[in-house]
Structure 1
Amino acid sequence: MTQGGNAPLTAARVTVEVTAPKALDVSGLLLTDAGKVRSDADFVFFNAPHGPGVTHRPASGGTPDAITIDTSAVPAGITKIVVTASPDEAGATFAGIEPTATVRDADSGQVLVTFTPPQLGRETALIVVEVYQRGGAWKVRAVGQGYADGLAGIATDFGVSVEDEPAPAAATAAPVTAPAAPPVTAPPVAAPVAPPLPQSTPPMPPAPPAAPAAAPSLTKVTLDKGRVSLTKGGSVSLEKNGKPFLSSVRMGLGWEPAGRGRNIDLDASCIAFDAKREKLDTAWFMKLGIFNGAVVHSGDNLTGEGGGDDESITVHLDGLPPEVCGLVFVVNSFSGQKFTEVKNAYCRLLDAGSNQELVRFDLTQSESHTGVVMCKLVRQYSGEWVMTAIGEYVDAKTARAMVKPAASML
């Protein structure tokens, strides 16, 4: 199978094996039509190997980690099972170890389909395939979507609660707590990287030490409590009370000349990417609208003078084509001055309808480069959008030159 392709299942019970040059942890999540688990009990992995109609088989004696799905036993209301994988080694990525999923008839062992995703990079977890119900029949789809924040990113994306708890000595696993079941320990999870645009899908920090320490917070940040201030690498979901909160947002970007009023021509742009980190289009001062007005640029500010945002880009999320998976917001110095000659650079996300500021990211330091990747909006597999603060400086004076560094940070 190729990425995005699907095929009918010719067996009621199937086993999805996932193999790679390195050991993997394979998991399964049972999802409703809303794209969420009903409870943490719908998350099946090595420490919670049995779910309704779905079981985990650990690697043993040459057989790989696998998820077995009995479609006849899957509960009513569950319309999709996603099969995920992450490297067993804490902090490892999929770069150079692209996994292969083999879907077999669980009773006869016959191979039904196989799938190997395209080349991967910073991903520390991957949705490999999904088994889903359509029109009363069960099918399998090749997905190959990566996450840079590990299995925790996938789990929280689908509604599994990942709680802060002290990590036991000599362990790096972050516990996952099921509401109606004893606490379970999730597979090792890499901490999120500094956003490459990313997941940076962003770049990620080193794995937590094995010594006893409080595990880093993996709780998803949302807009439930109002305005959010992000630090570099921080992320916030554009959800409120578990539901999409916004249909149209405006990204405002601002800056001031650092040296006695000297004019500096900075340009803000929004670069749209697909699931393979290929550029789809760019909204910038020479092309103010893309995707039939789903993304609109306010126009060029040549000096940074004046109060409020210097340039803004409005995004109608509901109007974006389905192939748009990531939007990266960048600022470059068209006139060639370094960002050390700029002060008070920031980006902020506003509700385009009410002009209410929702998320703000202030750059706390400048570097001697001509471009900066400010932040990204990434569409998660579940459909929700997540904003991540990046703040990575690069040498690029035009929007075109910003494409490659922006793609590397997804």
Structure 2
Amino acid sequence: MLKGSNTPVPTTALRVELGRRSGPGVPDADASALLLATGKVRSDDDFVFYNQPAHPSGAVRHEGKRTVGAGVADTLFVDLARVEGAIERIVLAASADGGTFGQVPGLYIEVTDAASGRVVARFDSPGATVETAFVLGEFYRRQGGWKFRAVGQGYGSGLEGLATDFGITVDEPRHAAPPAAPRPVTPPPPPAPAPVTTPPPSAPAPAPPRPTTAPPTMPPAPASPPTFSSASAPPPQARPVRLSKVTLTKAAPSVSLAKQGGTSGAMRVNLNWQMRRQLSGWGSRWGAGRGEIDLDLCALYELADGRKGVVQALGNAFGSLHRPPYIHLDGDDRTGAVASGENLTINLDHTRDFRRILVFVTIYEGADSFADLHATVTLQPQHGAPIDFSLDECTVPSTVCALALITNTGGDLLVQREARYLVPERGVSPQRTIDRAYGWGMNWTPGRK
């Protein structure tokens, strides 16, 4: 498509891919969407991006990044059939992290039918210079249907400037744009296994598993997940939108929670995934799980008093947020839907009670290896910047992956990106495999969920 042109799109579920070529010195680029009524958002809820990945209506969600050949794509899921009637436009934007779009080669936006993978629109953005945010396209209503317009509108004030221009309240103080940075270009025309008791900390790991009862500190899953409450915690949406984030990489694999402001309240650990699938005539593409695969988010813990255990769906070992182990698994999501995914919550008000926590994931069914998957891990402290990283580099037949090791170092929790893919030996469970690799020393027995 040419800049400014438009095309009809089906009123159905669509996948919007904002991509670029990768390479040394190329800044990261993040996708976002703004749902507009009369040209502005109705509230900060109408902004969907990496820190706020799902719209309350379920119509738009942020699905995260994946590697596409020699490039990287950040994906949004948009179900036009579920968009609220008051919404007239959905602005689709990208923001550069650590540079300008003049350093980002091959920037494009591609819209595909989520069910069939058929491409319904694509716009390759023209050359950029000092812009740090771009509106690449938009969906807008027209005569009872929807159209997509190729926009190509640049901002020099980054995601912060773009968001505030559409009515979003940003938490960070605004910074003046560089003198050479243009204001937005001419705007487009308006559209009409289960855990068992553990040995003392000094005891070596026993060889064979043996059946026994579950630890008394691990209550059964509640009818509904407990709600974390704190006297200092504001009600939802009482705070402006936070744009800051921390991405862990091989080059920069760790971060201090205290330095990010994550010293109290609840920290949610979220896992979302997509599965590679073959579509006739379209080659290898990615799609949401939709029940095709079941991943289990789990956590091994060791408390300051030496107690050890696991939080997982197997054996209904969902943990507890307000009593040991101060970790709670929200539920068992068998779809991988990014709007929910699998979630662990860690009570940071009990930081002093933790010695170490190992967050890991197992493939319960539906896939042979993490090489078949793309997954995104996000740690979101209640007070502090989110921490995220992707799982894309698996090259072995792994069914269990260590995600992050959280260690108490002098009263501060240090988050270490592991992304360590393990291959269980024949007859050895994924849980026992991860236990041996990190020296937890627990006893295990077969379990089910």
Q: TM-score, normalised by structure 1?
A: 0.41
TM-score of the aligned structures, taking structure 2 as reference length: 0.37
